Amino acid sequence: MSKRYSNEHEWTVLDEQIATIGLSAYAVEKLGDITFVELPEIGTLVGKDESIAFIESVKAASDIYTPISGEVIEVNELLENKPELLNEDAEVNWIFKLKVSDGVEFETLMDEPGYKAYIETL
Amino acid sequence: MPYTPHTPQDVKKMLDVIGIKEECELFDGVPSELRVKSFNLDQGLSEFEVFDNFNKLSNKNDTSKVSFLGGGYYDHIIPSAVDALSMRSEFYTAYTPYQAEASQGTLQVLYEYQSMICELTGMEATNASMYDGGTAMAEAALMAIRIGRKRKKIIIDSGVNPIYIKITQTYLAFHDTEVIVLDAKSDKIDKQKLLDLIDESVACYIFQNPNFFGSIEDYSEIVDALHSVNALAIMSSYPIALGILKSAKEMNADIYCGDGQSLGNYLGFGGPSFGILACKEKYIRNLPGRIVGITDDSKGRRSFVLTLQAREQHIRRNKATSNICSNQNLMALRATIFMALLGKEGFSKLSNQNYNNANYLKNELEKLDNINIFNKNPIFNEFVIEIPISSSNFIDKMEKRNFFAGLKLDALYKNFNNRVLVSVTEKRTKAQMDKFLTCVKEIV
Amino acid sequence: MSFTIFEKSSKGRSGINIPKSSVSKIKRLDTNLLRDNKANLPEVSEFDVVRHYTKLSNKNFSIDANFYPLGSCTMKYNPKIQERVAGLDGFSNLHPNHITNNQTHLIQGALSSLKTLENTLCEITGMNAFTLTPQAGAHGEMVGIMMIGAYHKKKGNKKRYVIVPDSSHGTNPATASMVGYDVITVKSGLNGDMDLDAFKNAMSDEVAAVMMTVPNTLGLFNPEIKQICDIAHSYDALMYYDGANMNAILGVLRPGDIGFDVIHLNLHKTFATPHGGGGPGAGPVGVGKKLKEYLPDLRVDFNEKRGYFFKEVNQNSIGKISPFFGNYIVLIKSLVYMQTLGREGMINTSKKAVLNANYILAKLKTHLKAPFADTLCMHECVFSAEELTKKYGVRAMDIAKYLIDFGLHAPTVYFPLIIQEAIMIEPTETENIDTIDYFCKKMIDAVELAKLDSKAFKEFPKTLPISRPDETKAARNLNIRWKD
C-alpha cells in the first residue's frame, strides 16, 4: 500500500475505505520528546484539513490536521499512556483511523519522494 | 544620577570601545522628527524627600477605624514570619523561574503552594496563581467554554461577587457566548429557575459559597443537574471559609476559583492580591497559567520545574490557553507561608473563629428592634443587615463612632438601599463587637 | 534531597497562636454544609517554617545578588525605598471597598497618588489618558485590544485580523486571539524590522490593529515606524505599542507623538518595581483621543471643591477588568521611582541602558556572530550561536547554562524566534562596567571552551542545587502536588 503525506506532515495509508493516519518522523523529530497526545472522539465527522487531534512535547504543541475527510472509527489508545511511542517509530505508530468519504482526496497528497523533496524546502 | 553607576571615566571608556564620541550619538538611529515633543517632568528628589511626600499621602488615607468592612477583601491576621520571609530579596527580586537551576527556591515554594491549594479545595490540579479572584473567575469561564466546545451559555448565580461578575462579563464580551446573570432577590439559590435553565446548551454555572451576602448553602443538587447534561460547575469561594465548609471536591465542582488576599496578604487598596484557579485533573490542559512539577535532574536528584509549558503563550502564541505570562508569585509565596504557619489545626480553628464571631454579632443585632437580618440561610463570617435609615447615613454615623461599619449594597444592587454587608474576622474582639452594638442602638 | 514542608510535618505541631475568641458558643452548622476532614496542611512550628523558606530562598538567583542580562525583560535594580513606602500603614492596610462605598474622604492620599501617576505616564508617553487597572503587561495588552475591539464595533467596522511582526512577544498573538481576532504574522526583513512590503500586502480593511514593539525585540529602532502608523490609519486600523522595551527611549521618543493609539507599559520592567519571582507586575494602558471613551472602569479626577473623586464611567467603557486599581502597591512603588529619577534621571536612564548594551555588542561581536552588528543597537543586543551549534554542537542554551555557574543569570535564548540560536542580552542601566566586563569575559570564555571541549557543556551547571532537570519526565509523569 502506498503512503501519502500532507503539507502538515501527516502520513496516510489507505486500505479500501479505511485511512490510517499518523505523524511523519520528520515532524516528530522537530517536536522533540512527545509528552501528550489528545485523540479525537470516535464517531466524529471531519473535513479535510480540519484540526482533529492535538500533540504536545516539552517545547512545542501542535494540532494534527486530517488530510482527508471522513468519520473517525478508531484511535490508537496506546498513545494515551505511552506518547513516547511516536518518538520510537512515528511512521508505524498511527494516531487515528478514518472511514473515508472521498477517495480522490488521497490522490492529491504527496507520495514519499514528493514529501522528501517538500521537507528539503523547509 | 540615581541608580546609574557610571563615572565620567567609565562613559569615556565605553564610548571608545563602541567607537563613538558622545552619548547622544547612541540615538542617531531615531530620526529627529520622531523625537519627543515634550517631556515636562519634575526634577528628581532625594530619597528623604520622596519618603516624606509618600508618608504625607499615606496619612491622608484612613486606616484608623475598627473595621467590619469585607466584601471580597478581608482584614485577617498576618503573622510576622510572612513579612520576614517574603521580604527576603532572594524571593522578591528574583525573576520568573524559567531557569530551573537558578530558581529552585521559587519553584519549590510554588509546588508547595499548589499542594496546599489542592488540599484546601480538594481539587486535583491548580496553577501557580492568577491575578485575582475576579480574573480567575473569568478564566474559569473561558476554560468551561473551551471544554464545552460548542456550548455558549454561562449562568452566573446571583450570589456571586458583583465585581467578579462584571470582570467576567468584560472578558466574555469578546467571545461568542451568552451570559445569564440571575437576579439577586434573596440570599438563597433560585433552585427552580436554575433547574429550568440547565440544558445541553449550558457550558457552566458559576456559584459562590459562601455567597456575596455571606450565606452558606449546599449546591450538590444543582451540580448533579449540571453533570447530567455534561455542563460544568464552577465554584468560587473565600479560601478562609474552606477551613470548615464543604470543599469544592465535596461539592463535586469541576473548577474552583477564588481570591487569595485573605491568605496572608495585605488589603493594599485592592492589590496585589492573587487569584486561585484549580480543577479536576482531566481538565489540566485547559488550565491557563504556570504549573510547577517534580522531576529528576541529570544526577537523579529531586528537582522542581515549570511543566506543561506548551499550553502557554510563549510557545503556543495565538493558540495558547490564555495570554497570561505572570503569576502573582510573591502573594502566592505569602499564602504558602501563611498556610504552613496555621497548619491543619490552625487553619480550621481560624475559620471557626470567623464563623463564631460573625454569628455572635449577627445574633445580637437580630435582637434589636429596628434591625432585620436579610440572610435566611446560615452565614459564615458576613451577613446583611437591613436598617431603617439609608446605608450612607448609617456608614457615616458609625464612622464618627470610630467604625468602618460595612459595605453599602446599594452601590452594587438595585433596590438594596437600606442594606449593609457586615464582615467579622478573627481580629474583632467581643469588646469591639459589643461597642459596635451599642453604637448601632444609638443610631437606629 | 530537597524535602517539602509536608515531609517536615509532625502531628500536633503548630506555627501560630490564633486570637482567642471570647464569644459564647455558637450553634454548629449542619453537616451537609461542612467539610468531612480538615485540609491536610503541614503541621510545623514557626521556626520550622522560617528555616525551611529561608533555605529555599538561598536556592534562588535574584537581582540583589546576580546580574540578569535578560533580553526584553529589563531586570534592573529595585530601589529599597519602594519597599519602605509600600509598607506604610496608609497604603498597605487601606481597604478597597471604601471605593465601592464612595467614601472618597478616607482615601484622598491613594487617589492623589493615582492621579499623579496617570499624569506622569501621560507626559512620559505622549498619550492622552491612562488606565491603571491592568495587573500585568499581558493584562494590559488584553485591555488595549479590547478597547480597539469596542472602537471598531461602535463604528460598525468589520474587522477580523490583528497584525504582529514575527519577532513579537508571544503574548501579542495570544492576546489577539483571546479577544477573538485572527492573527496575521508579518515576516521581518534582513535588517530585522518588519518588512514594509510584506506589511503593505497584509494590510486590508479587515485589519483591526497592528501590534508593534519599539524598539523591536532585536533591540533595533525601526525608522519606518511613522510610515507604518500612517498606512495602518489609512485603513482605520489602530496602532498598538507594546511597551516592553520602553527603557530604551525615555525622553527620546513618545509613542503618542508618532501616532500610536494605545500602549501598555510594564512597570516592573521600565519603572523598577520588583519582579517578585514572576509577579506581581503592573501594566497600565495609555490611549490617544480615539480610545479614551473605551477605557475600563475606575478612573480618578480632581477639582478644588471635591478633591479627588471617581470619574463617571463612560457608557462606551469596556467595563471592569480588575476589582479596583489592579496591583495598587506596585503602582505606588513605580511612582516612588519616577519621583526619585525626575526628568533628567529618566533621560539618563535610557542613555545608560543603551550605552551598556552597545558596549556589550562592541565587546562581543568579534567573538560571537551578531546578526545586526553593523548598526548601533538600542537597550539590548542579539547574538546567534548558530555557528557554534553547527561546528561544535554547542547551543545557545548550553552557553546560558555555563553562565549560571558563574553567578550570571542566563540571557534570553531562542527568542526572538527569527534568529537561529538567539542569545538576547539586555544589561539595563543599573549595572556597572565591572560587572559587564566580567559578563563579557565569561561569554568569551564560553565561546573558546566550545571550540576546545564542546562536550564539557552538557555538564553545566555544576555548582547549583540541581543540574539540568528532565523536563520530559516532568511532563510525562505529572507530579504537581504533594500526595502522602
Q: Check which CATH number belongs to the domain holding B368 and give it.
A: 3.90.1150.10
- Which tens digit of pLDDT belongs to each residue from C82-129? 999 999 999 999 999 999 999 999 999 999 999 999 999 999 999 999
CA–CA–CA angle B172, B178, B182 (5° rounding): 100
- Listed by number, the residues of chain C in 370-429 with a beta carbon closer than 8 Å to a beta carbon of chain B are 375-376, 378, 400-401, 404, 409-410, 415, 429
Å from B318 to nearest chain A CA?
12
Phi and psi at B421, nearest 5°, equal -90, 120
- Asked whether residue B408 is assigned to any structural domain, the reply reads yes
Residues from B in contact with A at Cβ < 8 Å: 285, 308-311, 315-316, 319
* CB-based contacts of C296, cutoff 8 Å, min separation 6: B170, C131, C133, C143, C317, C318, C319, C320, C321, C322
Residue B18 confidence (pLDDT)? 97
**C470 inside 8 A of chain A by CB:** no
pLDDT at B312 over 80: no
Å from C88 to nearest chain A CA?
44
- Cβ of B170 and C296 within 8 Å? yes
**C476 inside 8 A of chain A by CB:** yes
If you measure CA to CA, which chain B residue comes closest to C273? B93
- Which tens digit of pLDDT belongs to each residue from A54-65? 898 887 888 899
Interface-testing mutation among A56, A62, A63, A80, with chain B (most B C-beta atoms within 10 A) = A56
Alpha carbon distance B295, B288 (integer Å): 21
Query: What integer best gives the mean pLDDT of chain B?
Result: 96
pLDDT at C478 over 90: yes
Contact A79, A93 (CB under 8 A): yes
Cα dist from C277 to A27, B90, C83, C281, whole Å: 35, 9, 16, 10
Cα dist from A116 to A13, A111, A113, B171, C254, whole Å: 17, 9, 5, 45, 50
Contact B79, C113 (CB under 8 A): no
- Asked whether residue B326 is assigned to any structural domain, the reply reads no
Cα–chain center distance at B399: 27
- Cβ of A59 and B319 within 8 Å? no
Q: Is the peptide bond before C96 cis (omega within 30 degrees of 0)?
A: no
Per-residue buried b or exposed e for C102-123, using 16+ beta carbons within 10 Å of the residue's own CB: ebbebbbbbbbbbbbbbebbbb
What angle separates helix B391-400 from helix B430-443, to the nearest 10 degrees? 120
**A45 inside 8 A of chain B by CB:** no
- Cβ of B285 and A38 within 8 Å? yes
Residue A103 confidence (pLDDT)? 77
| Touching partners of B (3+ C-beta pairs < 8 Å) | A, C
- Cβ of C472 and A83 within 8 Å? no
- Asked whether residue B103 is assigned to any structural domain, the reply reads no
Å from C336 to nearest chain B CA?
7
Per-residue buried b or exposed e for B58-88, using 16+ beta carbons within 10 Å of the residue's own CB: bebbbbebbbbbbbbbbbbbbbebbeebbeb
Beta strands in C300-455 (DSSP E): 300-303, 307-310, 381-384, 412-413, 422-425
Grid-cell match 473569568, residue found: B138
pLDDT at C190 over 90: no
Amino acid residing at B107: L
- Asked whether residue B216 is assigned to any structural domain, the reply reads no
Residue C423 confidence (pLDDT)? 96
Per-residue buried b or exposed e for B191-201, using 16+ beta carbons within 10 Å of the residue's own CB: eeebeebbeee
Nearest to C382 by CA among C357, C410, C403: C357
- Which tens digit of pLDDT belongs to each residue from B356-383? 999 999 999 999 999 999 999 999 999 9
At residue C361, the 3 state secondary structure works out as helix
At residue C127, the 3 state secondary structure works out as coil
CA–CA–CA angle B209, B212, B213 (5° rounding): 105
DSSP letter string, A67-105: SS-EEEEEE-THHHH-TTHHHH-TTTS--EEEEES-THH
Beta strands in C403-452 (DSSP E): 412-413, 422-425
- Cβ of A36 and B285 within 8 Å? yes
Instruction: Please compute the mean of the pLDDT values over residues C405-430 and round it to a whole number.
Output: 93
Contact C256, C126 (CB under 8 A): yes
Instruction: Provide the grid cell at B406.
Output: 460595612
Contact B154, B180 (CB under 8 A): yes
- Asked whether residue B205 is assigned to any structural domain, the reply reads no
How does residue B317 score in pLDDT terms, banded at 50, 70 and 90?
low
Interface-testing mutation among B11, B32, B36, B412, with chain C (most C C-beta atoms within 10 A) = B36
- Cβ of A60 and B310 within 8 Å? yes
- Asked whether residue B53 is assigned to any structural domain, the reply reads no
- Cβ of B311 and A61 within 8 Å? yes
**A58 inside 8 A of chain B by CB:** yes
- CB-CB neighbors (< 8 A) of C420 in chain A: none
Nearest to B67 by CA among B355, B404, B392: B404
For B360, other C-beta atoms within 10 Å of its C-beta total 21
Spell out the domains of chain C, with CATH numbers in brackets: 1-59 (no CATH), 83-339 (3.40.640.10), 345-459 (3.90.1150.10)
Interface-testing mutation among B285, B291, B311, with chain A (most A C-beta atoms within 10 A) = B285
Amino acid residing at C16: I
Query: What integer best gives the mean pLDDT of chain A?
Result: 91
Interface-testing mutation among A58, A62, A65, with chain B (most B C-beta atoms within 10 A) = A58
Alpha carbon distance C262, C256 (integer Å): 8
- CB-CB neighbors (< 8 A) of B310 in chain A: 35, 56-61
- Which tens digit of pLDDT belongs to each residue from C194-253? 899 999 999 999 999 999 999 988 888 998 999 999 999 999 999 999 999 999 999 999
Cα dist from C52 to A67, B118, B157, whole Å: 54, 21, 42
DSSP label of B283: G
Residue B17 confidence (pLDDT)? 98
- Asked whether residue B426 is assigned to any structural domain, the reply reads yes
Exposure of A99 by Cβ count < 10 A (0-12 exposed, 13-18 middle, 19+ buried)? Answer: middle
If you measure CA to CA, which chain B residue comes closest to C100? B411
DSSP label of B272: S
**A38 inside 8 A of chain C by CB:** no
| H or E element that contains B363 | helix B329-366
Bin C102: left if φ > 0, else alpha if -120 < ψ < 50, else beta: left
For C431, other C-beta atoms within 10 Å of its C-beta total 25
* CB-based contacts of C361, cutoff 8 Å, min separation 6: B18, C370, C373, C376, C377, C381
Instruction: Provide the grid cell at C34.
Output: 461542612
- CB-CB neighbors (< 8 A) of A51 in chain C: none
Cα dist from B121 to B11, B12, B114, B282, C77, whole Å: 56, 60, 10, 16, 38
Spell out the domains of chain A, with CATH numbers in brackets: 3-101+108-120 (2.40.50.100)
- Which tens digit of pLDDT belongs to each residue from A93-114? 999 999 998 778 898 999 999 9
pLDDT at B197 over 90: yes
Cα dist from C123 to B41, C127, C140, C266, C297, whole Å: 7, 7, 19, 16, 22
- Asked whether residue B421 is assigned to any structural domain, the reply reads yes
Instruction: Please compute the mean of the pLDDT values over residues C174-193 and round it to a whole number.
Output: 88
| Touching partners of C (3+ C-beta pairs < 8 Å) | A, B
CA–CA–CA angle B293, B299, B304 (5° rounding): 15
Query: Domain range holding B435?
Result: 66-76+344-443
- Cβ of B315 and A63 within 8 Å? no
> How many structural domains compose chain B?
1
Alpha carbon distance B91, C92 (integer Å): 19
- Cβ of A57 and B310 within 8 Å? yes
**Minimal Cβ distance to C102: which of B79, B320, B411:** B411
- Tell me the ipTM for this assembly: 0.97
Alpha carbon distance C417, C82 (integer Å): 35
DSSP label of B153: E
**C166 inside 8 A of chain B by CB:** no
Instruction: Provide the grid cell at C402.
Output: 555555563
- CB-CB neighbors (< 8 A) of B319 in chain C: 177
Residue C107 confidence (pLDDT)? 98
- Which tens digit of pLDDT belongs to each residue from A20-56? 999 999 999 988 899 999 899 899 999 988 888 889 8
DSSP letter string, C209-275: EEEEESS-TTS---TTHHHHHHHHHHTTPEEEEEGGGGGG-TTTB-TTTTT-SEEE--TTTTT----
- Which tens digit of pLDDT belongs to each residue from B408-441? 999 999 989 999 999 999 999 999 999 999 999 9
If you measure CA to CA, which chain A residue comes closest to C476? A35
Interface-testing mutation among A31, A58, A85, with chain C (most C C-beta atoms within 10 A) = A58
- Which tens digit of pLDDT belongs to each residue from C25-66? 889 999 999 999 999 999 999 999 999 999 999 999 999 999
pLDDT at B46 over 70: yes
Residue C385 confidence (pLDDT)? 96
- Cβ of C475 and A36 within 8 Å? yes
